[in-house]
Copies of this chain bind each other. A is one copy, B any other.
């Protein structure tokens, strides 16, 4: 039987160790094609390139996975993969592993989640993975079991229409204590720009800031889960409109499986 095709992308570029970790895990589940941006695209949300051309560059295979980079955004990667790279329809789009959290309001700006939403817009089961560690040398092993269980279940049971998963893994040196379906934490960024003077006395600004959690006691949020060493799973709708995100029937069972395996 043909192995399922899995498309991997991210926003940290094809050089990111997080993408390669994800590819390595997914090679156990299917054939993997990895199409990542040529340059880092953090904060690119669902941006796409309309006013300039794009290039696709084939790279050497990585452990049996086909590798490409695209000279655009994460959404450009998914669109070009679907139209000009892949020779059959993927059964799963997996993005990340993002170097850094995409919990709470960050899901709106994340290019890694933008790529997952674009996968969902194509009607493909799509999951974005993030580790709450920005370091290029991050240890991605806390993500291992969440990737295996969620991707296997998504391949088997698929996903409701217009829905993706936003999976965040706490940056702890041991295995997370469990996995939990969450809502995105309400919060905002404060002091968002650092102000500078250029050598000619003109001001410029650079984005920064601290996340302020507006509901620290709400145990349903992704921030709460991560603070308690749990993997957070947030179902994300791409329709951005009236009507709720559909229930994902298999998700409670996958989470139970994760939590049960931990107890062994």
Among residues of B, the one whose C-beta sits closest to the C-beta of A70 is B205
Q: How far is the CA of A103 from the CA of B54 in the complex (A)?
A: 25
User: Does A18 touch B at the CB level, under 8 Å?
Assistant: no
Known contacts A56-B205, A235-B241, A240-B237; A84 and B195 CB within 8 A of each other: yes
Q: Mark A74-111, 1 if CB is under 8 A from B, else 0.
A: 01100110011000000000000000000001011101
A43 within 8 A of B: yes
A241 proximity list for chain B (CB < 8 A): 107, 183-184, 234-237, 245
Interface string of A24-56 (1 = CB under 8 A from B): 000000000000000010111111111101111
Q: Is the CB of B207 within 8 A of A55?
A: no
Q: In chain B, what residue has the closest Cβ to A196?
A: B53
Residues in B whose Cβ lies below 8 Å from that of A244: 242-244
Is B242 a contact of A240 with CB atoms below 8 Å? no
Q: Are B42 and A50 in contact (CB under 8 A)?
A: yes
Residues in B neighbouring A47, C-beta threshold 8 A: 43-45, 47, 73, 109, 111
Query: Which B residues are in CB contact (< 8 Å) with A54?
Result: 193, 204-207
In contact, A79 and B207 (Cβ under 8 angstroms):
yes
> Do B109 and A193 touch across chains, with their CB atoms under 8 A apart?
no
Residues in B neighbouring A42, C-beta threshold 8 A:
50-51
Inter-chain contacts of A202 with B (CB < 8 A): 55
On chain B, the residues within 8 Å of A16 by CB distance are none
Contact code string A201-240 (vs B, CB < 8 Å = 1, else 0): 0111111000000000000000000000000001111111
* Complex Cα–Cα for A57 and B122 (A): 40
For chain A residues 100-134, which have a beta carbon within 8 Å of chain B?
A: 105, 107-109, 111, 114, 117, 121-122
| In the complex, A61 has a CB within 8 A of chain B | no
Which residue of chain B lies nearest to A206 when distances are taken between CB atoms in the complex?
B53
Q: In whole angstroms, what is the CA distance A46 to B243 when docked? A: 22
- B240 and A236 form a contact (CB under 8 A): yes
Contacting pair A49 B53 (CB below 8 A): no
A144 CB–B CB distance under 8 Å: no
How far, in whole Å, are A206 and B83 apart by their CA atoms in the complex? 12
A sample of 13 cross-chain residue pairs with beta-carbon separation below 8 angstroms, ordered by A number, consists of A44-B45, A45-B114, A46-B46, A47-B47, A53-B204, A54-B206, A56-B203, A183-B243, A235-B242, A236-B240, A236-B241, A238-B240, A241-B245
> Contact residues of A with B, CB < 8 Å?
40, 42-51, 53-56, 73, 75-76, 79-80, 83-84, 105, 107-109, 111, 114, 117, 121-122, 183-184, 188, 191-193, 195-196, 202-207, 234-245
